[in-house]
Amino acid sequence: MYTRFPQSDLADDAKILYERAGKPMEEWINEIAKNDTTVAEEIVK
C-alpha cells in the first residue's frame, strides 16, 4: 500500500508494519525504545 499510495495517511504506518513483519515483539519494542522511551514504557506496563 505504501508504494502504491504514498500520499495516503496510512502509508507511513503500512511501511513500518511491512518492515517489521515476522520480527519478534521484543525486537519491535526495542526499536521503539530507541526512538521514544515514553511509548516503550507504556508497552512494558
Question: Are the beta carbons of 20 and 31 closer than 8 angstroms?
Answer: yes
- What's the pLDDT at 6? 84
Alpha-carbon distance 27 to 2, whole Å? 22
Domain boundaries defined on the chain: 11-44
Q: Convert the pLDDT of each residue in 2-31 to its tens digit.
A: 678 888 888 888 888 888 888 888 887 787
Sign of CA dihedral 1, 8, 3, 43: negative
Residue 32 has pLDDT above 70, yes or no: yes
**29: which 3 cell numbers?**
519494542
Between 27 and 43, the more confident residue is: 27
Q: Distance from CA of residue 45 to its chain's centroid? A: 18
Sign of CA dihedral 17, 20, 23, 26: negative
